[in-house]
Amino acid sequence: MNRVILIKYGELTTKKGNRKLFINTLYSNILKKLKGLEVNIFKDMSRMYIEYDSLNEKEILKRIGEIFGIHSYMIAYKTNSNLNDIKKTISEVIETSFDMSLNYTFKVETKRSDKSFKNNSMECNDIFGSYILKNYSNLKVDVHAYDILVHVEIRKDFSYVYINEYKGLGGYPVGVLGKGLLMLSGGIDSPVAGYLALKRGIKLDLVYFEAIPHTSLEARNKVLELAKKLLVYGFDMKLIVVPFTKLQEEIYKNVPGNYSITIMRRMMYRIMEKLTKRFKGLAIINGESVGQVASQTLTSMKVINSVTNLPVIRPVACLDKLEIIDISKKIDTYDISILPYEDCCTVFVPKHPIINPNLEHCLEMEANFNYEELITEIINNLMVIDITSKESEYEDIL
Ligand code: ATP
Ligand code: MG
């Protein structure tokens, strides 16, 4: 078959020094994503080419559409780099892609990366344009309002002809910026935050705080389902389940109701810092959104954040809830997120959580109980689950 999938890189082309790393990461992500489908992938500094079995074409196009770091991708017809073969291929592309009983306008756009090719790009446009006009009476040139844009890329070894370009997801290849640990609850915000972090090239491990028996196994299952949705865009993620019950109960025994959420979140951040170190991450990521609840006022965020020096990335910090919901629908997490299972944050929610907490007060309250011992116990009793898309893997966990 002379068809290949041609991939144009995303934003990475602007990062000159890191270009190799970006391309190699994208390459290995594409290999992982296309696992099980027979493909050959070739890469150079400006493009990737995938040879494939035509039976798998639809599936491959779908999967490529789920990979970050790709600007656009298309089915391109590969041919030899000479005018006659390119013309023949243009005919093949036009005749297989359009209903030839209808009239169309067209434009030819030639890109010539092989500068030793005897005609320049403008001459090629004329040559191929005239060829099309001569052979197809139903096609007329219109360089401004065209129905068909015929792309010709002339390279040293081979040339490529293509028509339809699909828009890629953009962003950076996942992993190129190292790893972050995402605080993944069962809510709407955190899966969206995870998706946006992946888009910036951050590989993820996921952390879920659970408070069994106050929270249910269904709640954990819901988080697992959300994790699987993120796996569509991420690679090799772990879900770290944090047994939070004892510490949470201690907080509610020792801390006045209005400060309980503030202290609980300070404890979560302390645990996140330890986990980030243990799992070799560089940052904490979560679904906090400024102003959404009492613990997400700027004063609250400052007091909570002060327990760690790690960068805390909040991808949805400045989005409206409706904007977050739009993304959650797009990535198919919304219907899972709205399932009605209690989260450890909602179980103990006080009537009047403080919106302007005072750091000194927090420190005094925390001095009342030995939380460090409880945190050490938690860190020694984590459950770590490798996320895969296969159902059977989880039977013994749920
Ligand atoms: P919602 O979509 O209902 O706002 P949420 O998950 O965003 O749900 P918040 O109380 O706003 O809930 O929590 C803010 C952030 O803290 C979450 O986005 C998530 O990153 C983190 N978080 C909250 N609860 C948990 C939990 N049980 N496990 C892990 N992370 C959590
Ligand atoms: Mg929220």
In short, whether 209's Cβ falls inside 6 Å of ligand 1 is yes
Determine how many CB atoms are found less than 10 A away from the CB of residue 62.
9
Distance 342 CA to ligand 2 centre (A): 14
Nearest 10 degrees: Cα torsion 216, 221, 222, 225? 170
Pocket-testing residue among 320, 322, 345, ligand 1, by greatest number of atoms within 8 A of Cβ: 345
In short, whether 343's Cβ falls inside 6 Å of ligand 1 is yes
In short, whether 188's Cβ falls inside 6 Å of ligand 1 is yes
pTM: predicted TM-score of the whole model, two decimal places? 0.92
**Closest Cα partner for 221 from 326, 327, 328, 343?**
343
> Which element (helix H / strand E) includes 284?
strand 283-285
In short, whether 184's Cβ falls inside 6 Å of ligand 1 is yes
CATH of segment(s) 179-397: 3.40.50.620
Distance 349 CA to ligand 1 centre (A): 13
CB 284 within 8 A of CB 276: yes
Instruction: Identify the pLDDT of residue 308.
Output: 98
Task: List helix spans (H) across 208-256.
Answer: 217-231, 245-254
> Which element (helix H / strand E) includes 132?
helix 121-135
**Closest Cα partner for 325 from 289, 294, 369?**
289
Instruction: Identify the pLDDT of residue 94.
Output: 95
DSSP string, 302-348: HHHHTT--S-EE-TTTTS-HHHHHHHHHHTT-HHHHTS-PPPHHHHT
Per-residue pLDDT of the chain in tens (398 residues, 90 and over written 9): 689 999 999 776 555 678 889 999 999 999 999 999 999 999 988 899 999 999 999 999 999 999 999 999 999 999 999 999 999 999 999 999 999 999 999 999 999 988 899 999 999 999 999 999 999 999 999 999 999 999 999 998 899 999 988 999 999 999 999 999 999 999 999 999 999 999 999 999 999 999 999 999 999 999 999 999 999 999 899 999 999 999 999 999 999 989 999 999 999 999 999 999 999 999 999 999 998 887 889 999 999 999 999 999 999 999 999 999 999 999 999 999 999 877 766 667 777 888 999 999 999 999 999 999 999 999 999 999 999 766 555 555 55
Distance 229 CA to ligand 2 centre (A): 18
Instruction: Identify the pLDDT of residue 164.
Output: 83
Distance 183 CA to ligand 1 centre (A): 7
CATH topology of domain 2-170: VC0802-like (3.30.2130)
CB 222 within 8 A of CB 208: no
Q: What is the DSSP letter of 68?
A: T
CB 256 within 8 A of CB 232: no
Instruction: Identify the pLDDT of residue 341.
Output: 76
Determine how many CB atoms are found less than 10 A away from the CB of residue 102.
9
Calculate the CA 55 to chain-centre distance: 27
Instruction: Identify the pLDDT of residue 339.
Output: 92
Pocket-testing residue among 181, 183, 242, 382, ligand 1, by greatest number of atoms within 8 A of Cβ: 183
For residue 210, the ligand 1 atom closest to its alpha carbon is 27
Ligand minimally distant from the alpha carbon of residue 325: 1
- The one-letter amino acid code at 87 reads K
Calculate the CA 276 to chain-centre distance: 20
CB 42 within 8 A of CB 146: no
Domain limits of the chain? 2-170, 179-397
DSSP string, 297-315: SHHHHHHHHTT--S-EE-T
